Amino acid sequence: MADVTERMLVLLSTLQTGGPFSGEELASRLGVSPRTVRRDVERLRGYGYPVVTQPGPGGHYRLVAGRTMPPLVLDDDEAVAALLGLATLAALRSDEDGTLDDAATRAYGKLDQFLPARLRPRAAALRAGLEIGAQRAPSVNAEVLSGLAEAITGREVVAFDYTDRRGRPSRRRAEPHRLVHLHLRWYLLGWDLGRSDWRVFRLDRVAGLVRTGARHPSRELPAGTALSYLRGGLNADRHRVRFTVRAEPYEVADVLRYQDARIERVGDRETRVTLWLDSWEWLVQCLVLLGADFTVVEPPDFRDACAAFARRLLAAAGGGPGEHPAGEGPQEGSAGEEPRGHPAGEEP
């Protein structure tokens, strides 16, 4: 086996059967020399796996039993990424037990004891020097999320209690197809058997999940991806805006970090943006604060709003009379509010 990672996993899997294996036997299974086997065993020990060696005639290698969970085979960067991922998830505070953030908080405090000994000081240093700002988000039960994931894989019909945004409860039977995470919310895209149509359910409004054991046939998704279907519904009552900015994509993304925007590089310091809005005013202010030239591609109403805004600023500076766009005053709603529309068939 030329791939070291694959070879190490095969070696570990073999030793985890619990029996003793001679160097020649392991070399034959891995297709390498006994010398390479010795090096690989040393690597496993470096990761924290207790591999004992019996030298001499009848000598063998054996993995010591008795550990409920052996050390994770992670390199330095993977260990850092795992800790940061858990810390970020733990920052989504819901103050409830059994939720994903609660589980992440507990796992964050335990991870280093399952790391190889050489990585534990780095993990401890990262934990001691790291702070992540808390964000409020609806709580999602970890059992509900994992149960739905298993039901999706097994094409299994599920039943659950659902409460819509108006507080109306109902009992649902559905074929789960995709889990989607967007804007700190978890959603389920499923075929609602009671309504014979696609529905999108928010998981923080799901309770009493039951996996029925009944299997369902495969269905073609109502869009290319569940995420695009969800986005299409959330943006149904908004206006699409497209513009280009003379700035790097990461600079634009920082200004629009709380918006569901499609940001693409189209040239040297040229970025194209597509997003959906309830009103234009807040976007004009964001782009002005970015300090970069921008060109509105569509719609014409947004170009008119920008021109009117420029005239107001010019008038405020004593350069000419101010003017409001048609339908004077800001439009109702803002991009930061709860969207008025819901995904096609979404259970709001």
Q: How many CB atoms lie within 10 A of CB 273?
A: 23
- What value does the mean pLDDT take over residues 72-96? 80
- What value does the mean pLDDT take over residues 270-279? 86
% of the chain residues with pLDDT over 70:
85
Q: Which CATH class for the 142-222 domain?
A: mainly beta
pLDDT at 223 over 80: yes
Exposed/middle/buried for residue 186 (C-beta within 10 Å: 0-12, 13-18, 19+)? buried
Structure confidence at residue 320 (pLDDT): 61
pLDDT at 69 over 90: no
Structure confidence at residue 301 (pLDDT): 84
Q: Could you tell me which residues come within 8 angstroms of residue 139 by beta carbon, excluding any fewer than 6 positions away?
A: 94, 96, 99, 100, 101, 204
Q: Is the pTM of this model over 0.85?
A: no
Exposed/middle/buried for residue 217 (C-beta within 10 Å: 0-12, 13-18, 19+)? exposed
Judging by DSSP bridges, how do beta strands 197-202 and 346-347 pair with one another? parallel
**From CA 241, how far away is CA 238, in angstroms rounded?**
9
Q: How many CB atoms lie within 10 A of CB 147?
A: 19
pLDDT at 191 over 70: yes
- What value does the mean pLDDT take over residues 264-289? 84
- Among candidates 164, 160, 255, which has minimal Cα distance to 202? 164
pLDDT at 78 over 90: no
pLDDT at 339 over 50: no
**From CA 267, how far away is CA 272, in angstroms rounded?**
9
- The helix/strand/coil state of 142 is helix
Query: Which amino acid, residue 231?
Result: R
**From CA 348, how far away is CA 341, in angstroms rounded?**
9
**From CA 306, how far away is CA 309, in angstroms rounded?**
5
Query: Which amino acid, residue 180?
Result: V
235-343 maps to CATH 2.130.10.30: no
**From CA 253, how far away is CA 259, in angstroms rounded?**
9
CATH for the 4-63 domain, from 3.80.30.20, 3.40.50.720, 1.10.3720.10, 1.10.10.10? 1.10.10.10
Structure confidence at residue 190 (pLDDT): 96
Q: What is the mean pLDDT of the chain?
A: 82
Higher-pLDDT residue of 142, 172:
172
Task: State the angle between helix axes of 100-110 and 76-90 in degrees (0 to 180), rounded to the nearest 10.
Answer: 140
Query: Please, which pLDDT band fits residue 228 given cuts at 50, 70 and 90?
Result: confident
End-to-end CA distance of the chain: 53
pLDDT tens, position by position, 33-48: 989 999 989 888 877 7
DSSP string, 1-53: ---HHHHHHHHHHHHTT---B-HHHHHHHHTS-HHHHHHHHHHHHHTT--EEE
